């Protein structure tokens, strides 16, 4: 089975490609510039089953077709989309690449005659941020965030625009699927994805948006206060990668959306667990002490991932394992920067 992964240099895509290659899939991946080709090849040690092509414009099906030449593709994992809050124009930088990028990947699927498309969406497509913490609410993949394309264009801040870009892209995809197609669609909706890189960035400003939430806690000195928690649902990057591969091969996954989440969390928990798993000699006076043991879990919504576990057969890596792998990489970046 030959799989196309869009945005192969991305944080989640790196791991997804590694799982695919490890399981014997043949992978074609796209990056948007020549210099990223070598980097991705190195990440996977020049693996013979990995082909890397440049597609400069992810909103153009023709650009994909030109880049792919005559590659035969059986399935598409569409991960390429902006996850950044550093933007000048919400429409140009977030809404258009996200929504038109999703549509281009689906048109491509039709033209290539693939059997399945897996779209990387988000918990942002599920929860309603405007209703606040909602301690009595349990979110599942049955819930839909109410944000629209226009909400993204006119958003008051970049996180809201980003969330709207994910909702609009997922809605566009399901709308596309209302016509009879040669393939089916699986939507994956991860919470904040934390975990180590296969190819770690070399500067703090290059840390991807979700791991930055961890960096913003564990890089602070012990005597600082713990910053407020911004997005209280998380999942390990390797579990997200495995979910993508399961979404490819489990027949019953077709036509469904899945919430990917290990648990809810708060920043005090990140601080406490980091102190448990990272020795003082590595922390070097970092990680705010705050109010040890205090948890915010009952002050906001919960999550239900039973269907994900049942259908995709996933189990979730715990926070200690995740931070034990990620935090030393974050400190290496901080110490070098």
Residue numbers at the binding site for ligand NDP (CB under 6 A): 7, 9-13, 32, 58, 79-83, 97, 120, 122, 166, 190, 192-193, 208, 210
Place of tokens 């549509």: 103
Q: What is the DSSP string of 38-103?
A: HHHHHHTTT-TTEEEEE-S-TT-HHHHHHHHTT---SEEEE------S--S-HIIIIIHHHHHHHH
Integer Cα distance of 314 and 200 in angstroms: 26
At its nearest, how many Å lie between ligand NDP and the CB of residue 35? 10
Integer Cα distance of 20 and 283 in angstroms: 34
What is the sign of the dihedral through the CA atoms of 57, 58, 62 and 65? positive
- Nearest-CB residue for ligand NDP: 10
At its nearest, how many Å lie between ligand NDP and the CB of residue 267? 16
DSSP designation for 221: B
What is the CA 167 to chain-centroid distance, rounded? 14
| Closest to ligand NDP by CB, 166 or 275 | 166
Where helices occur in 113-249 by DSSP H, the ranges are: 149-153, 158-176, 209-218, 237-249
3-class DSSP assignment, residue 313: coil
At its nearest, how many Å lie between ligand NDP and the CB of residue 295? 21
At its nearest, how many Å lie between ligand NDP and the CB of residue 80? 4
| Closest to ligand NDP by CB, 210 or 246 | 210
At its nearest, how many Å lie between ligand NDP and the CB of residue 119? 8
At its nearest, how many Å lie between ligand NDP and the CB of residue 203? 14
- List CB contacts of 70: < 8 A, sequence separation 6 or more: none
| Closest to ligand NDP by CB, 240 or 275 | 240
| Closest to ligand NDP by CB, 7 or 196 | 7
Exposed / middle / buried, residue 22 (Cβ in 10 Å: 0-12, 13-18, 19+): exposed
| Closest to ligand NDP by CB, 28 or 58 | 58
At its nearest, how many Å lie between ligand NDP and the CB of residue 240? 8
């Amino acid at each position: 089975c030959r799989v196309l992964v869009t945005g192969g240099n991305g944080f989640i895509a790196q791991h997804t490609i590694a799982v695919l290659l490890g399981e014997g899939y043949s992978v074609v991946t796209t990056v948007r510039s020549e210099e990223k080709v070598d980097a991705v090849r190195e990440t996977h040690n020049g693996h013979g089953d990995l082909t890397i092509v440049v597609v400069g414009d992810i909103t153009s099906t023709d650009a994909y077709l030109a880049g792919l030449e005559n590659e035969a593709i059986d399935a598409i994992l569409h991960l390429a989309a902006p996850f950044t809050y550093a933007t000048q124009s919400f429409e140009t930088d977030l809404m258009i690449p996200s929504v038109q990028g999703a549509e281009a990947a689906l048109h491509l699927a039709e033209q290539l005659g693939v059997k399945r498309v897996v779209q990387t969406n988000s918990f942002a497509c599920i929860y309603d941020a405007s209703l606040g913490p909602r301690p009595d609410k349990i979110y599942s993949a049955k819930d839909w965030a109410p944000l629209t394309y226009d909400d993204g264009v006119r958003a008051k801040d970049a996180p809201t625009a980003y969330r709207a870009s994910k909702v609009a892209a997922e809605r566009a995809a399901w709308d596309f699927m209302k016509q009879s197609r040669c393939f089916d669609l699986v939507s994956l909706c991860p919470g904040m994805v934390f975990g180590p890189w296969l190819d770690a960035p070399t500067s703090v400003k290059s840390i991807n948006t979700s791991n930055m939430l961890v960096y913003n806690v564990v890089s602070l000195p012990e005597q600082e206060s713990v910053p407020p928690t911004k997005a209280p649902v998380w999942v390990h990057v390797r579990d997200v990668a495995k979910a993508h591969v399961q979404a490819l091969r489990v027949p019953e996954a077709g036509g469904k959306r899945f919430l990917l989440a290990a648990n809810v969390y708060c920043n005090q928990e990140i601080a406490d667990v980091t102190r448990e798993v990272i020795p003082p000699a590595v922390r070097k006076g970092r990680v705010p002490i705050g109010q040890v043991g205090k948890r915010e879990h009952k002050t906001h919504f919960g999550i239900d991932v039973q269907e994900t576990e049942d259908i995709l057969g996933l189990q979730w890596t715990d926070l200690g394992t995740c931070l034990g792998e990620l935090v030393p990489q974050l400190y290496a970046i901080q110490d070098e920067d």
